[in-house]
Amino acid sequence: MDVILGGGGKMAVVEAVRACTHATSGAPVLRVGDKGRWPGNDSELLDDPFGLSVDEVSASTESCWGLSPRGYLGVQATLYYLDRIGWQHDAGTIQLE
């Protein structure tokens, strides 16, 4: 399921997260999507070192990572990522095995 905003795109969600958390412009925000390979609907969103794909990855070696175990796609891959998020000293961490 995609996030749809009236008058905004998915990158507006990233900026809204930064605004809600009082983070600086350009602060890292974890992004999860399924169509990171261009012209996929998440290619812009996942074109970031903190972009994780649950299906199609881009050709980039610096963004749009597919780091879930082989065979994990969609919801299963999303849950894999979310289950590994932790909080330490007001900062999020992710421990992938």
Residue spans of the domains in the chain: they are 28-88
> Tokens 């974890």 map to which residue?
30
The per-residue pLDDT for 30 is 95
Residues 6+ apart with CB under 8 A from 83: none
Query: What is the mean pLDDT, run by run of 10 residues, along the chain of 97 residues?
Result: 70 94 93 96 97 97 97 98 90 84
The per-residue pLDDT for 5 is 58
| Cβ atoms of 21 and 87 closer than 8 Å | no
The per-residue pLDDT for 89 is 80
| Cβ atoms of 85 and 94 closer than 8 Å | yes
- C-beta atoms surrounding 48 within 10 Å: 19
The per-residue pLDDT for 56 is 97
pTM: 0.87
User: CA-CA distance, 69 to 48, in Å (whole number)?
Assistant: 21
The per-residue pLDDT for 87 is 87
The per-residue pLDDT for 3 is 60
The per-residue pLDDT for 43 is 97
The per-residue pLDDT for 67 is 96
